[in-house]
Amino acid sequence: MNQEASGRIVIDGLVFHADGNPEPLRTGGVTAANVTVAPYLEGSQSAFDHMSRWRRLATDPDSGWKLVLSADDILAARQEGKVGLIMGWQNTWPLEGHLDRISGFHAIGLRVAQLTYNEANFVGDGCGEPRNGGLTAFGRRVVQEFNRLGIAIDLSHCSEQTAQDAAALSTRPVLLTHANASAVDARVRNKSDATIKAVAATGGVIGISIHGFLNWSGQPNQPPSLENFTRHVAYVADLVGVEHVGIGTDFACVQDTAEVNRILELSKAYPGAAGVFINAFGNKLENRYPAETPSPRQFPAIVAALESKGFSAAEVDAIAGGNFLRAFRQAWA
């Protein structure tokens, strides 16, 4: 039975780039996705321009998208046969140190915001900063303002200390939209048991990823696999409960993979997180994922891998989207 026929809600915690055509996600039976709609390392004007274009597209009734401003919009997307667009950031750089801008971006449609990318910013440290600093004083105000307005906080690329500080401060669920367990694979971008527990304690969700930067042992003869992905799912489910596990593929939703070459080149700036993987497998988009799932069109294979791992139907429903739906509802309320 396919995902749509089963009535299953499927939410991808992170799509790092999309070209505007939702077809790959729609083909894969994805109900809604957190799509990165602003450049990672650019300022407020760039974010405003990109988000304005996305909002215009997603409100076009013929686009195939449904703009998601509330959890009910995800349910409506399924009913309308569209893909729910959750507008997200992978960095708070567009704030440029101005707290008041959060309200403006929320009004445009921002619903998920990662506090930092790999490096430090005004808010805190990224996972690539060896000092492992925590939230700044400004960062604490940002967390509180996100909570007040109803913007879900993403900690995927944050340092361990920044992630734990944010989880401790937040009054709403916080998320790891695309991060795996460092206890399974000790990659720069993966998170410790302590951070995973801190996120779960808020009611948050850990979006386990199939992406090779996270879903990889570090051995050149062991490319990313769905089997290894399910190991991460099982580990986190055992650690904090299956109710805190989701899926965050870190896919690109594109018709032509050449569309994302510029972004793939950006990865080379992070030798610890990305360079070793690129050296082993090259820098083509499809090589970053298990061979069975090179694009969102194959999303049902990810769900089937969970079923093969022995998760019950109810557990698969929760991991595939139910847990993110619940956390989004609480974070956006």
Q: Does residue 243 fall inside a structural domain? A: yes
Q: Does residue 1 fall inside a structural domain? A: no
69-121: pLDDT as tens digits: 999 999 999 999 999 999 999 999 999 999 999 999 999 999 999 999 999 99
Q: Residue 84, SS3?
A: strand
For residue 168, give the CATH number of its domain: 3.20.20.140
Q: Residue 113, SS3?
A: strand
Q: Does residue 151 fall inside a structural domain? A: yes
Domain that holds residue 240: 7-332
- Tokens describing residue 211: 């992406």
138-150: average pLDDT:
98
Are 283 and 268 spatial neighbours (Cβ–Cβ below 8 Å)?
yes
Q: Does residue 250 fall inside a structural domain? A: yes
Q: Does residue 195 fall inside a structural domain? A: yes
Predicted pLDDT of residue 1: 45
Q: Does residue 2 fall inside a structural domain? A: no
Bridge partners of 176, per DSSP, are: 206
315-321: average pLDDT:
98
Domain count, the chain: 1
Mean pLDDT, rounded, of the chain? 96
pTM: 0.97
Q: Residue 109, SS3?
A: coil
1-to-4, 7, 162, 215, 321 alpha-carbon distances in Å: 8, 10, 42, 27, 17
